[in-house]
Amino acid sequence: MPAEAGQKADCACSYGMKLSWDINDPQMPQEPAHFDRFCEWPDGYVRFIYRGDEKKAQRHLSGWAMRNTNNHNGHILKKSCLGVVVCARGCALPDGSRLQLRPAICDKARMKQQKKACPNCHAALELIPCRGHSGYPVTNFWRLDGNAIFFQAKGVHDHPRPESKSETEARRSAIKRQMASFYQPQKKRIREPEAGENQDDSGHFDHIHPLENPEEFDIIPDPGFPVPGQPCFSFPNSDAYKATCDLATFQGDIVPPFQKYPNPRIYCPGYANSSLYPALYKDSNNIPNDTDWLHLNALQYDVNSYSSFERSCDFTSKQHGWKPALGKPGLGERTDHGQFQAVATRPYFNPEPPCRYLTTPPPGPPALQTVITTTTKVSYQAYPPPALKYCDTVREVKSLLGCNYASENTQLSIYPEALDLPATVATAASPTGSLPLKIPGDCRAIRHTLPFPQESVPSRVDGAETWDVCPSGLGSTTGYSDRDSPFLSYDNEDF
DNA sequence: GCGTGCGGGTAAA
DNA sequence: TTTACCCGCACGC
């Protein structure tokens, strides 16, 4: 374990974070001596430098459902997170996990996707928008410069991980294969006398009732919170697989009778009157009025990934007192800690971790003007490099995290400079060094590492946007998929 | 059909 | 001016 932890610790401090640069810089680090391993699930204010021949980096891949965002900058590709699609009821799957689908990137496809029913409870699906960056979606920036691909993420995903792209693609391809192979015998049976007993649609479901839990076939079982004993599914019976596949596929085309529910308050009782509902919640007035809903989802959020840190350090978070928040919608704590904008605008998750350390919540929309989130026609200005390196104090936090490495096969990149709460003014990360870069909610939101008993306030370094908790590299890329193995299943392609 | 990248355009702050 | 976001288009798989 020590060796493993050490390896992860080495990866934790990405090379990109060691160097001081910002995606908006007019001049990027030239010919980096090292490159980072590709991180499929970047989270937090992280930066990576990938090799120019890194295929995944070239494709700007991400486990998160990122869509292209026009920043009117041809040199820097900006992508924003779409969030995750979940069951509106927050139904629990047999394994205790939650439905966490990957939002379709295409707007049209996404709208279509949201009209589908939960494969588990047939309730409506809901898109949980990402609000991890001061109330706005987490943004990722890609920039090709020389022989390196620079990546910078801004924001902390405040939602569970969706199904990764690779998983989605694998599942879709599997579905196609299975569909092709399944319908052949199906047609044969229809022609056979004994097969004509029930061939209509309703009968179809009756046939496959034992498998009417297609949630097993399209589930992200809590990516950051592996359920012991059921990391993946085993289906010795391939026929059952096929049947379920078809079922799920058909279900996906069924418009549920209760496609939407009429009570938006269920999303966030504390912010029911908020006019800051995400744009993607244009139809948020159709939310299931299910008293369990909020609890379930709050629980899900706590259990899953209410932040990158929990995702990577979930066990640690419990060990250090976050678990009591489980199941608590957090209204009281919201009151105690104020309304964190990023959370207040998105009522889905328990905002406790991000809020816990907020002191003066913004009464209204976040001070976005002080947060550089895009690269729109950036007016470049030279700025002095930071005096300190990012990882100077990493060791300290690493020690804090030492107890949680076993929690997940992901790596942690902790950049404690951002843990410095008072240091909400950063200069290094800003392309304009002379311009104080205030990091309002988003920076504070990631200070959820502070509950550690060994809590210490690392000396401020620089670059408030450099705090990083990233299940990066092989840990997330391989371990996550392998662990969860949701794509091993067969499910509705529409999901 | 969908993902992806690009770019025009608009609204809000 | 900055930023987010909508939309359409083209291209590739």
What are the backbone angles phi and psi of residue A217, rounded to the nearest 5°?
Answer: -115, 10
**Taking a C-beta distance cutoff of 8 angstroms, is the pair A45, A465 a contact?**
yes
**Taking a C-beta distance cutoff of 8 angstroms, is the pair A114, A85 a contact?**
yes
In A239-276, which positions are buried (b, 16+ CB within 10 angstroms) versus exposed (e)? eebbbbbbbbbebbeeebebbbbeebbbbbebbeeeeb
**Taking a C-beta distance cutoff of 8 angstroms, is the pair A445, A426 a contact?**
no
Mean pLDDT of A341-370: 34
A77 CB contact with strand B at below 7 Å: yes
Question: pTM of the predicted model, to two decimals?
Answer: 0.53
A59 CB contact with strand B at below 7 Å: yes
Ranges A116-120, A173-177, A320-324, A362-366: which has the least confidence: A320-324
- Measured distance CA(A59)–CA(A55) in Å, rounded: 6
3-state secondary structure of A116: coil
- Measured distance CA(A453)–CA(A70) in Å, rounded: 43
Task: For residue A182, name the pLDDT band (cuts at 50, 70, 90).
Answer: low
- Measured distance CA(A418)–CA(A438) in Å, rounded: 12
Greater model confidence, A266 or A285: A285
DSSP state of A460: P
Q: How far apart are the first and last CA of chain A?
A: 38
3-state secondary structure of A305: coil
A494 CB contact with strand B at below 7 Å: yes
| Residues A388-404: tens digit of each pLDDT | 333 333 333 333 332 23
Res A116: pLDDT: 85
A453 CA, C7 C1': Å apart: 50
Contacts of A470 (CB under 8 A, 6+ apart): A12, A14, A39, A41, A42, A43, A44, A46, A308, A312, A411, A412, A413, A476
A107 CA, B4 C1': Å apart: 12
Give the rounded percent of residues in chain A with a pLDDT score beyond 70: 33
A104 CB contact with strand B at below 7 Å: yes
Res A180: pLDDT: 67
Average pLDDT, chain A: 52
A70 CA, B5 C1': Å apart: 9
| Residues A293-321: tens digit of each pLDDT | 333 333 333 333 333 333 333 333 333 32
Nearest to A361 by CA among A351, A371, A369: A351
> Is residue A81 predicted with pLDDT exceeding 90?
yes
Amino acid at site A285: N
A381 CA, B4 C1': Å apart: 31
> Is residue A199 predicted with pLDDT exceeding 50?
no
Nearest nucleotide over every DNA/RNA strand to the A77 CA, judged by C1': B5
Mean pLDDT of A362-380: 37
> Is residue A440 predicted with pLDDT exceeding 70?
no
> Is residue A486 predicted with pLDDT exceeding 70?
no
Task: For residue A10, name the pLDDT band (cuts at 50, 70, 90).
Answer: very low
Task: For residue A141, name the pLDDT band (cuts at 50, 70, 90).
Answer: very high
Res A185: pLDDT: 52
**Taking a C-beta distance cutoff of 8 angstroms, is the pair A82, A137 a contact?**
yes
> Is residue A292 predicted with pLDDT exceeding 70?
no
Greater model confidence, A129 or A442: A129
**Taking a C-beta distance cutoff of 8 angstroms, is the pair A418, A428 a contact?**
no
> Is residue A175 predicted with pLDDT exceeding 70?
yes
DSSP string for A233-287: ---S-HHHHHHHHHHHHHHHH---TT-S-S-GGGT-GGGTT-S---GGGTTTT--
- Measured distance CA(A428)–CA(A27) in Å, rounded: 14
Task: For residue A181, name the pLDDT band (cuts at 50, 70, 90).
Answer: low
Greater model confidence, A125 or A213: A125
Q: Counting Cβ atoms within 10 Å, is residue A465 exposed (0-12), middle (13-18) or buried (19+)?
A: buried
Angstrom distances, CA of residue A261 to CA of A123, A190, A241, A392: 9, 38, 32, 51
> Is residue A20 predicted with pLDDT exceeding 50?
yes
> Is residue A66 predicted with pLDDT exceeding 90?
yes
Residues constituting chain A? 495
Within a 10 A sphere around the Cβ of A231, how many other Cβ atoms?
A: 13
Ranges A70-79, A215-224, A405-414: which has the least confidence: A405-414
Mean pLDDT of A482-488: 36
The first and second tokens of residue A365, run together, are 């929309």
Residues with CB under 7 A from strand C: A 69-72, 80, 107, 133, 136-137, 139, 279-280, 368-369, 371-379
Res A305: pLDDT: 37
> Is residue A383 predicted with pLDDT exceeding 90?
no
The enclosing H or E element of A149 equals strand A148-154
Most confidently modeled of A346-350, A401-405, A422-426, A447-451?
Answer: A346-350
Res A157: pLDDT: 92
Res A140: pLDDT: 92
The first and second tokens of residue A309, run together, are 């840190």
Contacts of A378 (CB under 8 A, 6+ apart): A24, A73, A431
